[in-house]
A and B are shown apart, each in its own frame.
Chain A
Amino acid sequence: MGNLYDQLMKDVRFEEGLNACMNCGVCTAICPAAEFYNYDPRKVVDIVQGKDEEEITELLKSETIWYCGECMSCKTRCPRGNAPGLIIMALRALSQDLGYFVESEKGRQQLAIKRTIGDWILSTGYCVYIDGISLALHPEQGPVWEWVQENKTELLERLGGNYKGEGPGILRKIPDDTLAELKRIFEVTGGLERYSRIEEYSKRKAEEMDLDLNEGIDNEYFRHIYKTNNGSHTR
């Protein structure tokens, strides 16, 4: 039994998600990502249950594991009760722990998710926060969203929100002691360590790619990973 398989087995999602796969391919048939990307969850499950160290290493460094949208449609349909989506989540966790994620274009995007969603969780108490959802990052939000952003204080009040206010309600200010509790949870459960590893490996990769990487999102590396699509991912 290979070392990487042992590490995957430590993830409760891997243990829950993988029984003996008979390779029927129902997961691939139902998978929205398999319709769009060069992606076949059946093959992913086959590789990991084969326990071949070299093949799992290749998978952890590949684009493949980043194509899944985690909709979990595969879980509904698998006749053996497997959940390829959960296996993917375990593979992504291990890829980040080992620093292999920076070896693929899609994997490198983890820094962009960490510096938006990840950092908002700890700074605001929300996964998604209106102040950060700019048209520059989200042009698809359209002109109405631009109007919303320009009038958000009045509009949220008009709709009964509590934007940056005390007490309960829509987009209330999350109290500082609550944010401190969140940060402490991240500290004792490995959340901050995951963030640090994403930062550390990304910094090394940025140097290797000769791209500037400062704090925040206004730098060459962030823009590169956020926008670059080499066009080789789809069918």
Chain B
Amino acid sequence: MKQEGKIAIWREYQKEIADDKYFYVRSCIRQNFFPGSEVTFLRILRDVLKKDVFEHPCHTTCSGIGYHGDVVPVETAMTVVARQFALMTEAGYTNYVPSCITSFGLYTEIIDTWHHFPEVEEKVRQKLKEATGREFNIPSNLAHASDIIYKFRKEISARAKYKLINHDTGEPLRVVDHIGCHYSKMFPSKGVGGAEYPYVLAGMIEEWGGEVVDYPERRHCCGFGFRQYLVQANRGFSVACSKEKFESMKPFKPDMIITNCPGCPMFLDRWQYVINEMEGTRYGLNGEGIPVFTYEEVAGLVLGFDPWDLGLQMHQTDCEPVLKKIGIEYSPEDKYKTGVKTFSQNQPALANV
């Protein structure tokens, strides 16, 4: 397709994103695996951009992983989500911002279902009232946290300490964007750029100086597949999906991967470790792995935050190749300094790639 055609399609899928007063709900997976990313999101929104972001201490899981693991019934998931909306309503907010893509997809699905089946919404309202005494309004604006960073990509760029540019060569870094399936595959009009040409991460990459890598399996699932990862016997599916993506992107020599889903960065990071352990294959340049980042981590690096404040030490695939290419100042000896039990880089189990 000609570039003009792509741009026209993207224009059809520009969504409205609120510009302030956000009710923020956390991601179960990200709190465990990428805690620094959620902290960084709030740091950028509150401290750098001076936005009002409210977090209710009594919000919970949306139950989405249980719903897509098929142990939580649809009526239950809807009512748990309705309770989250009730907390937003009680706090006086209308702009709902989930950190999680599974949650974002679930909220989108539920609001769409209620639109088509008002009797289902009414039943959920009754059940929520019966269970908790709460009532709710549907958010007037639902935007994923990556939509918010996309919206303010230029403001971040204006404050940038670093760009996604190789400081030795002056060339833009080659960046793979990986969009979580539930961001827009179910409801293309709810994502920036739709499902075929989602622009939410590509927009950040281009704004911050990088070059977007297009490759055949760009839109393929990372392989989470819920039960396909949650149960050990099924993980061959999960690693096979990621491997298919790595094999497909390798010829394009990406410097890094950026993601907007809770599970995807973890799988694309860990499965590189596993594939290296299983067969000795590494997909990055110079025998290294391909570093995998969340969009908040990349935004934080661009703004000059310390890599270890961002939580990059929690990655299994080393982030350092990208730090070096950009020319980011960091302290290697501080990486695993936290805690009483130290991480010896000489341990044979250490197979950081």
Binding site for B on A (CB under 8 A): 11-13, 16, 32-33, 35-37, 66, 68-73, 75-76, 83, 89, 92-93, 96, 105-106, 109-110, 112-114, 116-118, 121, 125-130, 133, 137, 140-148, 150-151, 154-156, 158-161, 166-172, 174-175, 177-178, 181-182, 184-191, 194-195, 198, 225-229, 234
Contacts and interface: CB of A to CB of B under 8 A. Distances in A.
A177 B351 CA distance: 44
Given A36-B241, A66-B227, A113-B230, A185 B72 contact: no
A154 B338 contact: yes
Given A126-B28, A141-B270, A144-B313, 6 more contacts: A69-B225, A112-B230, A126-B32, A143-B350, A170-B39, A185-B83
A117 B69 contact: yes
Contacts of A229: 233-234, 236
Contacts of A83: 186
A128 B127 contact: no
B276 to A, nearest CB: 10
B351 A182 contact: no
A183 B226 CA distance: 23
Nearest to A113: B69
A110 B71 contact: yes
26 contacts: A33-B228, A69-B228, A70-B226, A71-B225, A89-B70, A92-B70, A93-B70, A118-B72, A125-B60, A126-B28, A127-B61, A127-B64, A129-B28, A140-B270, A144-B314, A160-B35, A166-B57, A168-B57, A170-B38, A171-B35, A181-B131, A184-B132, A185-B128, A188-B130, A189-B76, A190-B73
A21 B286 CA distance: 49
Contacts of A159: 35-36, 39, 309, 311
Given A33-B225, A117-B65, A145-B316, A151 B340 contact: yes
A13 B73 CA distance: 11
B195 A76 contact: yes
Chain B contact residues, majority secondary structure: helix
Contact of A161 (B35, B83, B233, B336): B35
A128 B65 contact: yes
B72 A128 contact: no
Contacts of A114: 71
A194 B35 contact: no
A167 B341 contact: no
Given A76-B195, A137-B232, A168-B55, A174 B60 contact: yes
